[in-house]
Amino acid sequence: MAQVVLKDVVKNYGNVYAVNHVSLTVEDGEFVALVGPSGCGKTTTLNLVAGLIPMSGGDVVIGDRIVTDLDPKDRDIAMVFQNYALYPNKTVYRNLAFPLQMRKLPKDEIDKKVQAAAKVLDITHLLERKPRELSGGQQQRVALGRALVRDPRVFLMDEPLSNLDAKLRVQMRSEIKRFHQDLHATVIYVTHDQLEAVTMADKMAVMNGGFLQQYDSPANVFANPVNMFVASFVGSPAMSLIPLAAVTRGTEVALTSPEGWELPLSPANARKALNAKSPKVVLGARHSTVKLHKSQVPGSVPGKVYTVEPTGDITFAQVFVSSAILNISLAPSVQIRPDEPVFIEFDQDKMHLFDGETEMALKAD
């Protein structure tokens, strides 16, 4: 296993930058998720690490080698594809043996390794079948098997779970995580599903529009999103963002809405709000940090219930606050109905403030 370094990696098609000067380091044995909406450049980044498409600029280093100019076959990597890319005309056994045959290993050694990999993944009974005779989950295992059969320096995974049904996806998610822990493998994992990234990865790299937005542990990304994009992308349901304006009232600072209500800020938040380039400040709040009241309490702001979604153990409510919709999680016992006027109380310590112009998170100093 090895460390992977992306240094100032660029991929452009004319004026369109699919990957725009991305730099990040994946430590040896680390599980890194590249996450972002479709078209954000995450799969392109992975293909650049694999060497499947030529780079426009920058370098990729795997272990102690700069692999930028090497063919995929010489980079000593393994990849799991979204559609599994199993060779349809080969049996499972020959699918697993293919990477070893290409490396000209002796037959008995190939057999030993294939059997070992099959045993780990519990697919020994499927070895003589063709891929089309397997279920989606079994195909997924074979694809994983083909990746781990030859002990590569890095595993690249391109949305490996997105073709599975919901239940199987959860199961394979923990299996891949377990497999990473057992092998201490270096894994770069592409997904559009932030939940997969948060649950599996040691670090997540959030991408948007070809730019790397934030690269940190899931907990840090969740707690301290650097900008509005990351804030609204990570977390389910997403963080709610309410565009407001900051006003100074003597020594106090408050956020005002076009409707006329005011939300006084704590001293720490006031300092953040004053750091904004313009009075435009966006208030961000996660569903679990806001409280819903049926009558006005000090520091609460008015809202109107839009929808109520009971899920069993938690009820999610969407509430119109100013011009935005705010997600709130409630105990199932709370009874509210659509169009009911309610009052929202924000937790000053857990709210996020963003610059309305630059969309960046505001800092207190």
The residues that touch another protein, with contacts defined as CB under 8 A, are: 47, 50, 52, 71-73, 75, 77-79, 81-83, 85, 87-89, 98-99, 102-103, 146, 156
User: How far is C-alpha 218 from the chain's CA centre?
Assistant: 8
SS3 label, residue 149: coil
Neighbours of 182 (CB within 10 A): 9
Q: Read off the DSSP letter of residue 72.
A: G
Structure tokens belonging to residue 320: 């119109």
* 8 Å CB contact between 213 and 229: yes
Considering the complex, state which of residue 113 and residue 287 has its C-beta at the smaller distance from another protein: 113
CB of 18 to another protein, least distance (A): 14
Whichever of 29 and 72 has its CB closer to another protein, that residue is 72
Q: How far is the CB of 41 from another protein (least distance, A)?
A: 18
| Shortest Å, Cβ 7 to another protein | 22
Between 188 and 353, CB nearer to another protein: 188
**Running DSSP on this structure, what letter comes out for residue 228?**
H
Distance of CA 24 to the CA centre of its chain: 15
Q: Which residue number, 36 or 160, has a Cβ lying nearer to another protein? A: 160
Beta strand ranges found along 222-356 (DSSP E): 240-249, 252-256, 262-264, 280-285, 290-293, 300-310, 315-321, 324-330, 341-346, 352-355
CA distance 265 to 299: 9
What values do phi and psi take at 162, rounded to 5?
-75, -15
Shortest distance, CB of residue 91 to another protein, whole angstroms? Answer: 13
Name the minimum Å distance from CB 104 to another protein: 9
Give whichever of 86 and 239 is closer to another protein, judged by the CB atom: 86
Which ranges in the chain belong to alpha helices (H)? Answer: 42-50, 92-102, 107-121, 136-148, 166-183, 194-200, 218-223, 228-233, 267-274
Nearest approach, Cβ of 259 to another protein (angstroms)? 48
Please choose, from the candidates 177, 349, 326, 185, the residue with its C-alpha nearest in 3D space to the C-alpha of residue 272.
349
Angle at 164 between CA 158 and CA 169, to 5 degrees: 85
Give 141 or 146: the residue with its C-beta nearer to another protein. Answer: 146
Please report how close the Cβ of residue 99 comes to another protein at its closest, in angstroms.
Answer: 4
Is the Cβ of residue 85 or residue 120 nearer to another protein in the bound state? 85
